[in-house]
Structure formats: C-alpha cells, structure tokens
C-alpha cells in the first residue's frame, strides 16, 4: 500500500528545498544508499560554473561531503534531458575538479569527484537502470591491473588507482520496473513515482515523506510547482517527437551552417512554441540544448520576420 500524500519530484526538491541544511538528511540518505557508505554533507558548493551559467545552476548541485573513512569528496548531482548528455557529464566533472583545486596546490591535492546523474530520458541502449563508470588501467600484453605503489598510497591516501579518478553513476529512471528489491531500489521508486510505500526503510525516505509534501508548500509555490510539472510533460513529449531525431538528422545531413542558421527548424519551432506557453528561457534551454543567447537571437529574428 502506498501513501496517499503527493510528494514533490526530486529535481524540483534539489532546486528549491534540498540545498538547505535543514533538509540535508534527505540527500545524505540517498547518497548513502547509492554509494553503500555513510555520507555526511558538509556544504553545498557555489561553484564557478554555477555562478556563470544559469542553466548549470538550474540543473546541478555540487556537494562537499565526508564519507565513513573521513575522506572529503565532491559530489556533483545533475538531472536533465539532453541529447549530448555523455559529453555534458565529462565537461561537468572536469570543471568541478579544476574549480576546487587551489592555485598553490599540487596535483596530488585534486579532490575525488563523484558524478551522479539522474536521467529522465533513455540514454544509450543499455537495459539496466543504474550504471557505474570508473577509470582503470589494464595491461595490453599481460592484462594486469595497474596498482599504486606504497609511496603513492601514502601520498594520495588511497588504495587503488581507480580511487583517484572520478566515478560516474547514471540512473535511468524510466528503465526501473517499479519492483524494489533493496533500499536503493526504494529510492529509485521514489525518484520515478514521487511516492513512498509504507514498507520502505531506506535512509532519508521517511524524512523525504515528511518534508517533500506538496501540501506543505505555500500556495504560490504549489501553483509554480504544478506549472513546472505541466512544462516537463510537454517538454518530454516535444523532445521525443521532434527534437531528438530532428537534431540528429539535421547534423548527419550537413544542415548546420552557422550558429543560428544551423539550428534545425524543429528545434527553432520548439523554442518558439515554448515561449508562447509562458515557459522560461532557462527551461527552454534545458529541453532544447540551446544556449540562452541562441534562444534570444531566435526570438529576435522571429519578431523581425
């Protein structure tokens, strides 16, 4: 039996609620279940990319956390619908690692980055709903795994080469079959359905049930949230029916001939139609993959025409 209480989607919660220290327990529960270790959030980081790019700020949160080994880790959580998402996460992790290395530090001071990506679209052709990516070096001839020597282990305070490099988690929400076999699955169920079953025991979920009730939002926030949900349904439909295939086909046929001129008509029409519905430029950029500058230029050209 599921609760009747309607809960806020996780992406909205990250943007509006979970950056507050009062709600850190929810994110700590999710991260602890995913990473299989106790995680304590120390701070929400205002990264340089978050300062410079509104779309990044809308879709991403960087957390400074401590794990059960008392190690400090930077965790980047992203959620989006983007055609070139695999390149986006590589870009994001690279920037995060550089941003948090002080100028006077040696490369040994680079902080471990874990990239957690909550995907509301089907990325790639895999059949699983959670994927983990790491960096390992395998010998071409002897097929042995490259390991750290004892001096390196002391310097880096790590036991393996893999532990030095970023980790990537891809959570494909729509691939989950709604059967929760463990506590991590309970979290995935919530991410997909915005519901928490009474039998669920995963860390952070009971707190999420108490704090993420739509009915606890002020009336104006409830209306903004409902509008946001409507936008997401519309954008998902437009993305699947027009943008994804149209963008790829446009590129493969050599139709991109300049910054604005090269954007195919399907993408332009999506942007213009979303403007007519009152959708913000931030969200339009999110669904189309265009920059805010490109969208404004498209609108200016449409007015002149």
What confidence tens digit (pLDDT) does each residue in 248-271 have? Answer: 555 444 443 444 444 566 677 777
In a domain, 5, yes or no: no
Q: Which residue has the higher pLDDT, 232 or 290?
A: 290
CB 151: neighbour CB atoms within 10 A? 8
Mean pLDDT of 205-219: 85
Structural contact between residues 21 and 39, judged by C-beta atoms closer than 8 angstroms = no
pTM: 0.71
pLDDT score at 305: 60
In the chain, count of helices (H) and strands (E)?
13, 6
**Domain boundary residue, one of 182, 215, 248:** 215
Mean pLDDT of 77-100: 77
What's the first-to-final CA gap in the chain, in angstroms?
56
State the residue range of the domain holding 281.
Answer: 217-304
In a domain, 281, yes or no: yes
pLDDT score at 171: 93
Is pLDDT of 153 > 80? yes
Do 206 and 250 reside in the same domain of the chain? no
> What is the overall mean pLDDT for the chain?
79
Is pLDDT of 52 > 80? no
In a domain, 1, yes or no: no
Count of the separate structural domains present in the chain: 2
Do 210 and 221 reside in the same domain of the chain? no
**Domain boundary residue, one of 165, 196, 215:** 215
C-alpha 129/C-alpha 109 separation (Å) is 33
40-45, strands of its sheet edge to edge? 40-45, 60-66, 72-80, 112-119, 167-172, 130-133
Nearest C-alpha neighbor of 91 from the set 74, 81, 106, 76? 76
pLDDT score at 82: 60
Write the secondary structure of 170-192 as one string of H (helix), E (strand) and C (coil). Answer: EEEHHHCCCCCCCHHHHHHHHHH
Do 207 and 293 reside in the same domain of the chain? no
Most confident by average pLDDT, 1-10, 230-239, 290-299? 290-299
Do 190 and 89 reside in the same domain of the chain? yes
Do 112 and 175 reside in the same domain of the chain? yes
Most confident by average pLDDT, 56-60, 157-161, 274-278? 157-161
Is pLDDT of 57 > 70? no
Do 150 and 235 reside in the same domain of the chain? no
DSSP annotation of 145 reads: B
Do 210 and 227 reside in the same domain of the chain? no
Do 160 and 41 reside in the same domain of the chain? yes
In a domain, 45, yes or no: yes
C-alpha 16/C-alpha 271 separation (Å) is 25
Structural contact between residues 78 and 85, judged by C-beta atoms closer than 8 angstroms = no
In a domain, 4, yes or no: no
In a domain, 2, yes or no: no
pLDDT score at 217: 79
Nearest C-alpha neighbor of 29 from the set 172, 210, 156? 210
Do 164 and 25 reside in the same domain of the chain? yes
Structural contact between residues 45 and 35, judged by C-beta atoms closer than 8 angstroms = no
The pLDDT > 70 percentage for the chain reads: 76
**Domain boundary residue, one of 169, 196, 215:** 215
Do 27 and 105 reside in the same domain of the chain? yes
DSSP E strands, the chain: 40-45, 60-66, 72-80, 112-119, 130-133, 167-172
C-alpha 66/C-alpha 40 separation (Å) is 5
Do 210 and 241 reside in the same domain of the chain? no
pLDDT score at 54: 41
C-alpha 167/C-alpha 117 separation (Å) is 11
Do 147 and 164 reside in the same domain of the chain? yes
Name residue 144's beta-bridge partners.
none
Mean pLDDT of 91-117: 83
How many residues appear in the chain? 305
């Amino acid at each position: 039996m599921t609760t009747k209480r309607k809960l806020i989607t996780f992406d909205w919660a990250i943007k509006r609620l979970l950056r507050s220290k009062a709600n850190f327990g929810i994110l700590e529960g999710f991260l602890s279940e995913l990473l299989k270790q106790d995680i304590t959030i120390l701070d929400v980081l205002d990264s340089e990319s978050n300062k410079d790019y509104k779309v990044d700020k809308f879709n991403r949160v960087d957390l400074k956390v401590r794990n059960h080994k008392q190690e400090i880790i930077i965790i980047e959580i992203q959620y989006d619908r983007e055609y070139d998402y695999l390149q986006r996460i590589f870009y994001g992790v690279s920037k995060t690692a550089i941003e948090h290395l002080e100028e006077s530090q040696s490369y040994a001071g680079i902080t471990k980055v874990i990239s957690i990506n909550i995907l509301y679209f089907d990325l790639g052709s895999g059949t699983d709903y959670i994927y983990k990516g790491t960096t390992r070096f395998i010998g071409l001839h002897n097929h042995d795994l490259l390991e750290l020597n004892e001096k390196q282990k002391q310097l880096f305070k790590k036991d393996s080469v893999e532990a030095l490099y970023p980790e990537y988690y891809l959570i494909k929400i729509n691939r989950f079959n709604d059967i929760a076999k463990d506590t991590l699955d309970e979290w995935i169920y919530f991410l997909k359905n915005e519901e928490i079953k009474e039998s669920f025991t995963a860390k952070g979920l009971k707190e999420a049930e108490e704090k993420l009730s739509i009915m606890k939002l002020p009336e104006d926030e409830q209306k903004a949230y409902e509008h946001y949900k409507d936008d997401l349904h519309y954008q998902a439909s437009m993305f699947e029916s027009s943008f994804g295939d149209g963008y790829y086909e446009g590129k493969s046929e050599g139709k991109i001939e300049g910054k604005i001129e090269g954007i195919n008509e399907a993408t332009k029409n999506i942007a213009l139609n979303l403007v007519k519905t009152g959708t913000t430029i931030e969200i339009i950029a999110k669904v189309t993959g265009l920059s805010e500058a490109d969208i404004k230029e498209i609108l200016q050209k449409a007015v002149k025409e």
